[in-house]
Amino acid sequence: MQWLYCDFHIHTTWSDGNCSIDEVVDLYGETGFDVIAITDHVLDSGSIERYGKPVSELSVMDRQDFGAYQEALWGAARRAWERYGMLLIPGVELTNNTQRYHILALDIKEYIAPDLSVEEIIESIHRQQGISVACHPYFRNHSGEDPSFYLWENHERLASLFDAWEVANRDDLFNVVGLKKFNYIANSDFHERRHLLSWKTLLRCEKNVESVKEAIRKNDQVSLFLYRGGKIRP
């Protein structure tokens, strides 16, 4: 086993990120990361209706995009492994701004609608042998809004359902989440190159997808670190 440098929350031009999938792979691979998950946004129908624009203009995906997105990620995963020895785990961020929850679904194979309840989403993720992560549960933006606070407001009921909670997201460290001693990981919520400098996860496990998923679930050999530049590995 070894300590693996990981980031499980990354966006690309498939949603609202500035970098293509290949650009993300090269950036993380050249830096020396071991494991990444690309998790572009799928937005709930209520939010789409409020915006009054077609999905193609909202920098998000819908059910029709999912197959092509998965195919692109699997192709990129092969290149990431062959060129950099880096694992790429396909995923999505199920983004329900109407009910105020964001959930990472890692290593899923079938589309999951973000309109479902939290419990239904988690059940669907686990039915596919995927990993469920509560995104930035204690985050407030500069306007004081809390777009994903539902998970924290209901954390006593939901805590054990998730495989992990984000204890850190980009530059934010959520001490209230850490104090609860939930299973945790830390992620960049990457949207542009400067977001590489952010909180990340260290997992001690074998370097394959199933071992990484099991390490997140067990959460007994996990650490977080604040990456501030330079190559991680020679």
CA dihedral 132, 179, 156, 119 (to 10 degrees): -10
CA distance linking residue 77 with residue 191, whole number of Å: 19
According to DSSP, the β-strands at 222-226 and 184-187 are unpaired
pLDDT tens, position by position, 124-179: 999 999 999 999 877 555 555 556 679 988 988 999 999 999 999 988 887 777 77
In a 3-state reduction of DSSP, which class is residue 61?
A: strand
Q: Mean pLDDT of successive 10-residue segments in the chain (234 residues)? A: 96 94 98 98 87 75 92 98 98 93 96 96 98 83 62 90 94 78 94 96 98 98 94 80
* Confidence (pLDDT) at 176: 77
Domains detected in the chain: 2-226 (3.20.20.140)
In a 3-state reduction of DSSP, which class is residue 171?
A: coil
CA distance linking residue 91 with residue 131, whole number of Å: 9
What is the reported pTM? 0.93
Read off the DSSP letter of residue 18.
S
